[in-house]
Amino acid sequence: MRARRCRLLAVPALALALVAAAACSKKTTTTASPTSAPTFAAGTTMARLQAAGKMTVGTKFDQSLFGLKNPLTGAIEGFDVEIAKLVAQGIYGGTVDDAAKHINFVETPSNVREISIQQGKVDMVVATYTINDARKKVVDFAGPYYIAGQDIMVKKGDNSIKSVTDLNGKKVCSVQGSTSLANVKAKAPQADLSITFDVYSKCAEALKDGRVQAETTDNVILLGQVNDNKDAFKVVGNPFTTEPYGIGIKKGDDAFRSFINDRLEASYKDGSWVAAFNKTVATAGVTAPTPPPVDRYSSVPVTPTSTVTSAVSPSSTVTPSSTVTPTPK
């Protein structure tokens, strides 16, 4: 199986500034043509959402480039948001911007993604949500629609951490309910992981004020934080996992999962996936990769449990169909 690999490089502040300036000077819009609202079989999730005229989507509100609540406008912005709009367009028709009017975005941090789906608080979760076998026991996934890789962020002048094994003996921050914690425990068992938060922005603050020596999560999440704090942080640039991002939905809803996978594949072909990427992640100097093939796996049996706070397992056990790590332009 062929994969296209790009490597995240440490970029000098000046280069990042030039890239950001260039990105800001060129407005990128999603160019997918308007679509007609299809007719769905009665009883399907798609028919229910179409009749209601609204769908609720869980995403992050604190992750620059993927899911961020704009502090000035209150709008929810990022690549995950654009992917959700593409799915909604397939239900409600019209343009991507028309479809956005039908979405109610709710903040869904890592540690409540599964329970939010199970309790019906959201119709789907698009929130840098790594697909793995443990999670597939309690929710189902469409996608993947992007492949990231876990990396490390440190203060800009810190050259003591160059790989995951260098985290042994260091205070490291990540978020509760993420695969990142499990991965570090497996690969750097002597790392001090006593400081965790519900959102990554709090980890960045802990790194900035010296409470921890590193933050670890997916490279594109860290890239967003560096993009917002160019003089404070840098990404090590040595990813040590593959993280296939999927769209989480209620367990056993095969028709909805198949529909979302169809929408993703259509967006790959018509250019709307690339347009969504260029509108968001590419503004930080990341070249749009080849989108990964969706995985139409057979659903695994439901795990009998009434309360699931998080289902994580080390991502080294996941074998994605392609590996993509961002490359600055």
Global pTM? 0.80
Co-location of 64 and 113 in the same domain:
yes
Q: Is residue 6 part of a domain?
A: no
Is the per-residue pLDDT at 153 higher than 90? yes
Tens of pLDDT, residues 131-142:
999 999 999 999
Alpha carbons 172 and 193: distance in angstroms, whole number? 5
Domain-located, residue 223: yes
Residues 88 and 219 in one domain: no
Note the pLDDT of residue 19.
Answer: 37
Evaluate whether 11 touches 65 at the Cβ level (below 8 Å).
no
Q: Of 210, 235, 260, which residue is a domain's last?
A: 235
**Domain check: are 80 and 125 in the same one?**
yes
Task: Based on the fold, state whether residues 23 and 142 are members of the same structural domain.
Answer: yes
Task: Specify if 323 maps to a domain.
Answer: no
Phi and psi at 261, nearest 5°, equal -60, -40
Tally of domains within the chain: 2
* Inside any domain, residue 327: no
Q: Is residue 202 part of a domain?
A: yes
Residues 141 and 173 reside in one and the same domain: no
Q: Which residue has the tokens 């469409």?
A: 142
Residue 98 inside a domain? The answer is: yes
- 178-232: pLDDT as tens digits: 889 999 999 999 999 999 999 999 999 999 999 999 999 999 999 999 999 989 9
Domain boundary among 205, 235, 265: 235
Say yes or no to pLDDT of 23 above 50: no
Residue 167 lies in a domain: yes
Q: How far apart are CA 90 and CA 81, in angstroms?
A: 15
Residue 309 has pLDDT above 60, yes or no: no
pLDDT at position 145 over 60: yes
pLDDT of residue 311: 52
Amino acid 63: pLDDT: 92
Domain check: are 135 and 284 in the same one?
Answer: yes
Query: 140 and 47, same structural domain?
Result: yes
- For the CA atoms of 63, 66, 69, 74, the dihedral, rounded to the nearest 10 degrees, stands at 170
25 CB neighbour count, 10 Å cutoff: 7
Neighbours of 304 (CB within 10 A): 5
Q: Is residue 19, in this structure, part of any structural domain at all?
A: yes
The percent of residues in the chain predicted with pLDDT above 90, rounded, is 76
Element (H, E) at 174: strand 172-175
Instruction: Kindly tell me if the per-residue pLDDT of 325 is higher than 60.
Output: no
Indicate if the pLDDT at residue 22 is higher than 90. no
Q: Are residues 248 and 156 in the same domain?
A: no
Indicate whether 99 pLDDT > 90. Answer: yes
Residues 21, 137, single domain; the answer is yes
85, 71: one domain: yes
* Per-residue pLDDT at 302: 64
Residues 62 and 20 in one domain: yes
pLDDT confidence of residue 34: 76
For residues 181 and 111, the answer to whether their CB atoms sit within 8 Å is: no
Q: Which residues contact 102 (CB under 8 A, 6 or more apart)?
A: 53, 54, 55, 88, 91, 92
Please state the rounded mean pLDDT for residues 10-35.
43
pLDDT score for 184: 97
Same domain, 73 and 217: no
Q: Which domain holds residue 287?
A: 13-27+37-148+244-292
Domain of 66: which CATH number? 3.40.190.10
Helices (H) and strands (E) in the chain, counts: 10, 13
